[in-house]
Structure 1
Amino acid sequence: MITQCIYCNHTKLYKLANGHLKCALCKRKISPAKIEKTKNIINAFCKNLTAREASKECKCSYMTAKTHYDQIRLLITQYLEEQYNKHAGEIKEFDEYFYLEKSKKKSENTIFDIQNFLTFDYGGKVYNILMPSLRKYRTHLLDDGMQHKYYNQLSRFITFRRVAKLEHLDNTIIKFWNFFEESIKRYRGVDKEYFIYYLKEVEFKFNYNIEEQKNILYSLYLT
């Protein structure tokens, strides 16, 4: 039951003939059914259901669930940026990570699909910065037969030239990477254009427990 305005938190609401509510203070209209549907989709997102699974559980169309999921990921990305900016001075450790889907790891040509990001630990939470992609060089280097050379050079770089500041081997960053590798499997491949949003989704779910996730997303999405 809605007991206060989701926009201004005023507690005096009027019920309209169509079932909607109207705030006595800000005069905005509120649809309880729409809010309930949004909350159900947020809950499905926090339970790690895909958009298709969410559409079945929430009894809505796939496009409705997907639109909500896209908006949730955008809000999460903005929220995590704000939180990091508030605590950037608390960074304790950082390290870099090279991610490539398991199915692509045996081919030299897929070197250009590697996603490289830096992970920072601030107060037990993580923040990730996605580094520039090598993909823009793909056509040129494949035409010149240079992929073998770059594959070997990158392998050596990953092994010997890591950018890191770690105080302990058992640390928050390593735990996040393990969590990320397990979480990203559910999507069976992520388009390069949208990888940052899935990375931020995993970051969000690592940083906050499920109840915290719901409360944050209710606040972000419904106000």
Structure 2
Amino acid sequence: MIENSKLSHYKIKKIIQCFCVDIPASKTALLLNLNRNTINYWYMLFRETIYDHQTDLRAKFVGSIEVDESYDESYFGAKRQRGFHGKLKRGRGTLKQPVFGIFERNGRVYTEIVPDCKMKTLQEVIIGKVSLESVIYSDGWRGYNGLVDVGYSKHFRVNHGANEFARGECHINGIESFWSFCKRRLAKFNGISKEYFDYHLKETEWRWMREPNELATELWNLIR
């Protein structure tokens, strides 16, 4: 991937370091005295590589698993439907694009853009990504009904509607922390087009709770 590049390995590693510290492309171009188009090219190449890497991870999640969906208005943009003139609602029932997340405590996070948050949709994602022996924690959304019926014998909920956010080990603080990180990080782009949103989502998934040096080492190995 880098053998035909006109840039030296030293320069490429410098671009990787800036990317992994999350420095915007415009500032990276100034810091490294490189053309902005060159930085844009490498940043997009990194995102495509990370996307492929994250989507190729096939090992199922196991252990204590938190599941949750997000519709955060700061980066999951609202969609107007023709003939609809009312005020868009927030959260479930909104016209916004939902994104579903799975968090393995002390481990990985997985995100997926979904068409809706109905029971069938969420079950298909969970069955495909989470081992049956896992313990699943969720909130009280009806889309999580029936998990016991499909083989997940240990499913516990917190009732956010009743202001219950933790009951011992029963909480979804981990995946909610990820959504907060995702919101803060993606908000700085001031809107991301549908074409590139999935790349940024997978990049954020890849970055979460990891140090820049660790990310830089992995990214260098991925593009070689």
Of 29, 54, 69, which aligns to 1:80?
Answer: 54
Write out aligned runs for 1:157-176 (5 A): 161=142, 163=144, 168-169=170-171, 171-176=173-178
1:116 pairs with 98, 116, 122, which one?
98
Counterparts of residues 27-66 of structure 1 (less than 5 Å): 34-66=8-40
The equivalent residue for 1:190 is 192
- Give per-residue Cα distances to partners, 1:131-180, cap 9 Å, x unaligned: 138xxxxxxxxxxxxxxxxxxxxxxxxx9645486563352101101111
Stretches of structure 2 lacking an aligned partner (at least 5 in a row) = 79-85, 117-139, 146-154, 158-168
Note if contact 2:21-2:212 (Cα within 8 Å) is conserved in structure 1. yes
Pick the structure with more helix per residue.
1
Q: Which gives a bigger RCO, structure 1 or 2 (Cα 8 Å, sep 6+)?
A: 2
Contact 1:115 1:130 in 2 (8 A): yes
RMSD over aligned CA atoms reads 3.4
The separation in 2 between residues aligned to 1:181 and 1:209, in whole angstroms, is 19
Quick check: which has more Rg, 1 or 2?
Answer: 1
Structure 1 unmatched runs, 5+: 1-5, 8-28, 134-158
Name the CA distance, whole Å, in 1 between partners of 2:48 and 2:5.
Answer: 23
CA deviations on 1:14-35 (whole Å, 9 max, x unpaired) are: xxxxxxxxxxxxxxx7889521
Structure 2 letter corresponding to 1:55: A
Matches within 5 A, 1:100-179: 100-101=73-74, 107-108=87-88, 112=95, 114-124=96-106, 125-132=108-115, 161=142, 163=144, 168-169=170-171, 171-179=173-181
In 2, Cα distance between the equivalents of 1:101 and 1:31? 37
CA distance change for structure 1 residues 31 and 189 in 2, over 3 Å: closer, same or farther? closer
Distance 1:34 1:107, change over 3 A: farther
